[in-house]
A and B are shown apart, each in its own frame.
Chain A
């Protein structure tokens, strides 16, 4: 009995760790729940329940003794790599390739592994994406560089501020503010042409695309609480961006 209880605790730990990594990386709620229940089932625990909102996970297992544990999620980012890695671990668990201890070690390894691309590369990619969006939104090639500069500066300042002040609203607001400032300065000094298109395309890297998509998928899958709260998060982010831009435009 002691051993069984010990085992149950270990299984719960593995499930919660997998769920925590996935939720923090921005996976859809139904996928996280599905993965957790699946992992538990592969270890032989069939009667499990998981409930989650974007800010926490409750996981309970009934056999051999009812145990319920709660984990709090405070920080959420987008990290598709971690989602993919956890998915792979979950796959090998369900084919029986990993033991409980091995699975735990693999998940801890994933959790430590932070990002596969360095920050400068991401900033550069944000800049390039902004430039490309300018062309996609029917801008002219002369505005390509201004959009790149504004997009890169905006993305960097939002990432940088998020490290200093962990309030998401504020970092996104400042990112949008910097984009507005850069674009207006460049247009005033004749470096950039069309202010509207430059701002729209350089704001794109800050747009909460993943949140919007996930909110809808969660709602459709019946996870009403998660769907609505993710929708609220998306709305707040859009509002922060809009407010930052509007603030700058009111001076122009």
Chain B
């Protein structure tokens, strides 16, 4: 069960790297970032953690991993984080909402749409938390000379 999730999430994230024209040498790292985020996400869900919390944590970890790669390979962080975030995007919920709307069940459509919106917000929160953490650690590590933006 976990093995097929690990393999597919790795391949999917690396494939997304290629769709977005990521440099060849960054593809493996793209896949890795996406895999870590996704495995954490499904593991948290199995632990009965609420979906929104799981998304926040996964997005946070994806950004942290991307940040480490960005520092190590001296590449913009966006190269790694974009393909890692994609699996967390609530495509399924948005689809369900659309489907209910087509079937004239507007009450359920609004409910599902609101949930999809909240999960997008959760991704944003995860990203933001990771960014703030990075800035704090950078300031603590070098209080005088602020380091160059990676």
Contacts from A to B (Cβ < 8 Å): 26-28, 31, 34, 78-84, 87, 91, 115-117, 121-122, 125-126, 128-129, 131-133, 135-137, 155, 196, 199-200, 203-205, 207, 209-210, 212-214, 216-217, 220, 238, 242, 245-246, 249-250
Q: Flag B82-108 by CB within 8 Å of A: 1 or 0 each.
A: 110111010110111111011000000
Q: For residue B38, which residues in chain A have a CB less than 8 angstroms away from its CB? A: 136
| Cα–Cα distance between A137 and B102 once the two chains are bound (Å) | 23
Tell me if B's interface is mostly helix, strand, loop or mixed: helix
Q: If the complex has contacts A81-B21, A216-B127, are A128 and B11 also in contact, measured as CB distance less than 8 A? A: yes
CB–CB B79/A83 < 8 A: yes
Q: For residue A91, which residues in chain B have a CB less than 8 angstroms away from its CB? A: 74
| Cα–Cα distance between A220 and B121 once the two chains are bound (Å) | 13
Instruction: Give, as a whole number of angstroms, the nearest-CB distance from B43 to chain A.
Output: 13
Q: For residue A212, which residues in chain B have a CB less than 8 angstroms away from its CB? A: 85, 89, 120, 123-124
Q: For residue A203, which residues in chain B have a CB less than 8 angstroms away from its CB? A: 91, 95
Partner of A246, one of B22, B24, B79, B101: B101
Q: For residue B101, which residues in chain A have a CB less than 8 angstroms away from its CB? A: 246
Instruction: Give, as a whole number of angstroms, the nearest-CB distance from B84 to chain A.
Output: 10
Most chain A CB within a 10 A radius of its CB, from B21, B74, B127? B21
Partner of B4, one of A126, A129, A135, A245: A135
Tell me if A's interface is mostly helix, strand, loop or mixed: helix
| Cα–Cα distance between A155 and B18 once the two chains are bound (Å) | 13
Counting from the closest, the 4 A-B pairs by CB-CB distance are A132-B12, A132-B8, A129-B15, A125-B15
Q: For residue A137, which residues in chain B have a CB less than 8 angstroms away from its CB? A: 92
Q: For residue B8, which residues in chain A have a CB less than 8 angstroms away from its CB? A: 131-133, 135-136
| Cα–Cα distance between A217 and B89 once the two chains are bound (Å) | 16
CB–CB A209/B102 < 8 A: no
Partner of A87, one of B20, B76, B87: B76
